[in-house]
Amino acid sequence: MMIKIGDKAPEINSIDQNREKITLKQFLGKKIILYFYPKDMTPGCTAQSCNLRDNYQQFLDNGYIVIGCSADSPEKHQKFIEKYDLPFPLISDERKEVLNSFGVWGPKKFMGKEYMGIMRTTFIIDENGVIEDIITKVKTKEHTEQILK
Protein backbone atom coordinates (compact mmCIF):
# COMPACT_ATOMS: atom_id res chain seq x y z
CA MET A 1 0.00 0.00 0.00
CA MET A 2 1.58 3.23 -1.15
CA ILE A 3 1.49 6.24 1.14
CA LYS A 4 -0.06 9.48 -0.14
CA ILE A 5 0.81 13.13 0.37
CA GLY A 6 -1.01 14.32 3.49
CA ASP A 7 -0.72 10.93 5.25
CA LYS A 8 1.07 10.63 8.57
CA ALA A 9 4.46 8.98 7.99
CA PRO A 10 4.64 5.43 9.41
CA GLU A 11 6.76 5.19 12.55
CA ILE A 12 10.24 3.84 12.00
CA ASN A 13 11.81 1.65 14.63
CA SER A 14 15.10 0.45 13.22
CA ILE A 15 18.88 0.80 13.48
CA ASP A 16 21.42 2.95 11.69
CA GLN A 17 24.95 2.25 10.45
CA ASN A 18 26.26 2.24 14.05
CA ARG A 19 23.56 -0.18 15.22
CA GLU A 20 22.02 2.74 17.15
CA LYS A 21 18.23 2.82 17.44
CA ILE A 22 16.64 5.26 14.98
CA THR A 23 13.00 6.38 14.99
CA LEU A 24 11.07 9.13 13.23
CA LYS A 25 9.75 10.32 16.61
CA GLN A 26 13.23 11.45 17.60
CA PHE A 27 13.15 13.96 14.71
CA LEU A 28 9.68 15.39 15.40
CA GLY A 29 9.86 19.17 14.98
CA LYS A 30 12.33 18.83 12.10
CA LYS A 31 11.68 18.43 8.39
CA ILE A 32 13.00 15.13 7.04
CA ILE A 33 14.19 14.01 3.63
CA LEU A 34 13.85 10.22 3.81
CA TYR A 35 15.25 8.56 0.72
CA PHE A 36 14.94 4.87 -0.09
CA TYR A 37 17.52 3.43 -2.46
CA PRO A 38 18.23 -0.10 -3.73
CA LYS A 39 21.81 -0.86 -2.68
CA ASP A 40 25.02 0.59 -1.23
CA MET A 41 28.03 0.96 -3.57
CA THR A 42 26.02 0.67 -6.82
CA PRO A 43 26.39 3.44 -9.46
CA GLY A 44 22.90 4.98 -9.23
CA CYS A 45 22.72 4.84 -5.46
CA THR A 46 26.21 6.28 -5.12
CA ALA A 47 25.36 9.14 -7.53
CA GLN A 48 22.17 9.89 -5.59
CA SER A 49 23.82 9.75 -2.15
CA CYS A 50 26.76 11.90 -3.30
CA ASN A 51 24.37 14.45 -4.83
CA LEU A 52 22.64 14.74 -1.44
CA ARG A 53 26.03 14.90 0.31
CA ASP A 54 27.29 17.69 -1.97
CA ASN A 55 24.19 19.76 -1.21
CA TYR A 56 23.88 18.81 2.45
CA GLN A 57 24.48 22.34 3.74
CA GLN A 58 21.66 23.60 1.53
CA PHE A 59 19.30 21.08 3.15
CA LEU A 60 20.41 22.13 6.64
CA ASP A 61 19.95 25.80 5.71
CA ASN A 62 16.38 24.96 4.65
CA GLY A 63 15.69 23.19 7.95
CA TYR A 64 15.89 19.60 6.66
CA ILE A 65 17.67 16.55 7.96
CA VAL A 66 18.55 13.77 5.52
CA ILE A 67 18.15 10.04 6.22
CA GLY A 68 18.81 7.22 3.76
CA CYS A 69 17.35 3.72 3.93
CA SER A 70 18.05 0.41 2.19
CA ALA A 71 18.09 -3.28 3.11
CA ASP A 72 21.89 -3.29 3.50
CA SER A 73 23.52 -4.29 6.80
CA PRO A 74 24.86 -1.67 9.23
CA GLU A 75 28.41 -2.79 8.34
CA LYS A 76 27.79 -2.23 4.63
CA HIS A 77 26.25 1.18 5.39
CA GLN A 78 29.31 2.06 7.50
CA LYS A 79 31.64 1.25 4.57
CA PHE A 80 29.42 3.26 2.17
CA ILE A 81 29.46 6.27 4.53
CA GLU A 82 33.23 6.07 5.02
CA LYS A 83 34.04 5.61 1.33
CA TYR A 84 31.88 8.54 0.18
CA ASP A 85 32.05 10.70 3.31
CA LEU A 86 28.26 10.80 3.74
CA PRO A 87 27.25 13.21 6.55
CA PHE A 88 23.82 11.68 7.28
CA PRO A 89 22.57 8.43 8.86
CA LEU A 90 21.54 5.36 6.86
CA ILE A 91 18.81 3.08 8.18
CA SER A 92 19.56 -0.62 7.93
CA ASP A 93 16.32 -2.43 7.14
CA GLU A 94 17.42 -6.02 6.53
CA ARG A 95 13.98 -7.33 7.57
CA LYS A 96 12.31 -4.85 5.18
CA GLU A 97 9.88 -3.60 7.83
CA VAL A 98 10.46 0.09 7.03
CA LEU A 99 10.47 -0.58 3.28
CA ASN A 100 7.12 -2.35 3.55
CA SER A 101 5.54 0.26 5.83
CA PHE A 102 6.43 2.98 3.29
CA GLY A 103 5.29 0.80 0.37
CA VAL A 104 8.62 0.89 -1.47
CA TRP A 105 9.37 -2.86 -1.51
CA GLY A 106 7.77 -4.61 -4.45
CA PRO A 107 8.01 -6.05 -7.96
CA LYS A 108 10.50 -4.36 -10.29
CA LYS A 109 11.49 -5.09 -13.87
CA PHE A 110 15.02 -5.17 -15.21
CA MET A 111 15.95 -6.38 -18.68
CA GLY A 112 12.62 -8.18 -19.05
CA LYS A 113 12.87 -10.02 -15.73
CA GLU A 114 10.64 -9.28 -12.77
CA TYR A 115 12.02 -9.45 -9.24
CA MET A 116 11.32 -8.02 -5.79
CA GLY A 117 13.30 -4.96 -4.89
CA ILE A 118 13.40 -1.44 -3.48
CA MET A 119 11.69 1.23 -5.55
CA ARG A 120 13.86 4.33 -5.44
CA THR A 121 11.57 6.82 -3.68
CA THR A 122 12.04 9.94 -1.56
CA PHE A 123 9.57 11.17 1.05
CA ILE A 124 9.61 14.75 2.31
CA ILE A 125 8.15 14.76 5.83
CA ASP A 126 7.14 17.96 7.63
CA GLU A 127 7.81 18.93 11.28
CA ASN A 128 4.61 17.16 12.38
CA GLY A 129 5.47 13.86 10.71
CA VAL A 130 3.11 14.36 7.75
CA ILE A 131 4.13 13.45 4.18
CA GLU A 132 4.58 16.73 2.30
CA ASP A 133 5.89 15.34 -0.99
CA ILE A 134 6.80 12.01 -2.61
CA ILE A 135 9.35 11.75 -5.41
CA THR A 136 9.12 8.49 -7.36
CA LYS A 137 10.88 9.46 -10.60
CA VAL A 138 14.21 10.12 -8.93
CA LYS A 139 16.96 11.67 -11.03
CA THR A 140 20.01 10.44 -9.13
CA LYS A 141 22.38 13.20 -10.27
CA GLU A 142 19.82 16.02 -9.91
CA HIS A 143 18.00 14.84 -6.84
CA THR A 144 18.62 17.99 -4.79
CA GLU A 145 16.86 20.12 -7.42
CA GLN A 146 13.90 17.73 -7.31
CA ILE A 147 13.66 18.10 -3.53
CA LEU A 148 14.25 21.86 -3.19
CA LYS A 149 12.18 22.79 -6.25
10-residue stretch averages of pLDDT, the chain, 149 residues long: 90 96 94 96 92 96 97 97 97 96 90 90 97 94 91
What pTM did the predictor assign? 0.94
Structural domain total, the chain:
1
Can 45 be counted among the known catalytic residues?
yes
Residue 147 lies in a domain: no
Q: 73 near 92, Cβ under 8 Å? A: yes
Catalytic choice (45, 119, 124, 147): 45
Range of the domain at 118: 13-138
What is the pLDDT, as a whole number, of residue 1? 58
pLDDT of residue 2: 75
User: Residue 5: inside a domain, yes or no?
Assistant: no
User: How much is the pLDDT for 59?
Assistant: 96
Q: HSE-up of 22 (CA within 13 Å, CB side)?
A: 20
Q: How many CB atoms lie within 10 A of CB 130?
A: 13
